């Protein structure tokens, strides 16, 4: 009886240890960046999950040369301000996640939160993010700690980023 109880405790201990090990295998220690599906409701989830904290949400596309320039700029930002939280969303529906990972890594953004449109018709997601957004890219939303949003269609200027950083 005592032996069985002892075995039970040891099993519990083993499970707990596995739990710890499992939890520490978080995405930052995983070599593969998580790429989340951006579907209807995702935008609101991002807003909720990041409530009262500053972050920068950037929408891009593989065919958008300006987006590449902005991603490059954001890569520099992450280096100089590692505390800044960046979230990127690829607007090409179901874009290959390895392509996204490679693209993010090429800009030093492999540790940021990445999403990809996962609805066949991108404009339904444009509408949810902002009814006046017609899909022009890049599109960036800068949110400060008071949940105030600055929406910027077109490439960000350093001045806009600096102003946002001053509130971070």
Partner 1 sequence: MNKQKLIVALAVVVLSVGLFSYIQYGCSNKAAVTAETADKKPASRRHQTTGVVSVDIKEHNGTLHLLLGKNEQGQHSVWYQTSTDQGQTWSEAVNTTADLDISAKFHRGNDARLAVQEDNIVAVWMSRVDGAPHNAGPMMSVRSSDAGQSWQAATMPADWEGPHGFFAMDGNDEKISLVWLDSREQIGKGSQGLRYTSSSDGGQTWLENKTLDRQTCACCWNTARFDEQGQLYVLYRDKLPSDMAIGQVNKQDEWQRLSTVGAFNWDFQGCPHIGGSLAFDESRQLFHATVTTGEESKAGVHYLNSADQGQHWNTPVQLGSDTAVHSDLAVAAGGQLLATWDQITATGFEVVYATSYDQGQTWTEQQQLSTLGIRASHPRVVAVDDAFVVVWTQTNADNVQELQTKLISHDS
Which residues bind to partner 1, rule: CB under 8 A?
2, 5-6, 9-10, 12-13, 16-17, 19-20, 23-24, 26-28, 32-37, 39, 42, 45, 49, 61-67, 69, 85, 87, 93-98, 111-115, 120-121, 123-124, 126-128, 131-132, 134-139, 153-155
Are residues 87 and 116 in contact, defined by beta-carbon separation less than 8 angstroms? no
Minimum gap (Å) between residue 149 Cβ and partner 1: 15
Rounded to 10 degrees, the C-alpha dihedral 147/153/155/157 comes to: -50
Neighbours of 144 (CB within 10 A): 17
Nearer to partner 1, 68 or 165 (CB): 68
Nearer to partner 1, 100 or 164 (CB): 100
Minimum gap (Å) between residue 97 Cβ and partner 1: 5
Q: At what angle do helices 65-80 and 158-167 cross, to 10 degrees?
A: 40
Minimum gap (Å) between residue 140 Cβ and partner 1: 10
Minimum gap (Å) between residue 166 Cβ and partner 1: 22
Nearer to partner 1, 64 or 77 (CB): 64
Nearer to partner 1, 10 or 147 (CB): 10
Structure tokens at 33: 């960046």
Residue 90 CA, distance from chain mean position: 10
Residue 73's closest CA among 147, 134, 150, 159? 159
């Amino acid at each position: 009886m005592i032996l069985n109880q002892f075995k039970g405790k040891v099993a519990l201990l083993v499970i707990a240890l596995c739990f710890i090990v499992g939890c520490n295998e978080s995405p930052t220690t995983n070599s593969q960046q998580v790429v989340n599906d951006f579907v209807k409701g995702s935008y609101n989830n991002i807003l909720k999950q990041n409530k009262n904290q500053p972050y920068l949400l950037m929408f891009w596309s593989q065919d958008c040369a300006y987006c590449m320039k902005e991603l490059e700029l954001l890569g520099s930002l992450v280096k100089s301000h590692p505390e800044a939280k960046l979230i990127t969303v690829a607007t090409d529906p179901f874009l290959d996640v390895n392509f996204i990972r490679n693209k993010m890594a090429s800009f030093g953004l492999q540790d940021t939160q990445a999403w990809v449109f996962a609805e066949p018709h991108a404009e339904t997601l444009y509408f949810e993010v902002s009814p006046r957004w017609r899909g022009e890219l890049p599109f960036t939303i800068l949110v400060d700690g008071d949940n105030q949003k600055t929406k910027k269609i077109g490439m960000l200027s350093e001045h806009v980023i600096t102003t946002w950083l001053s509130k971070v």
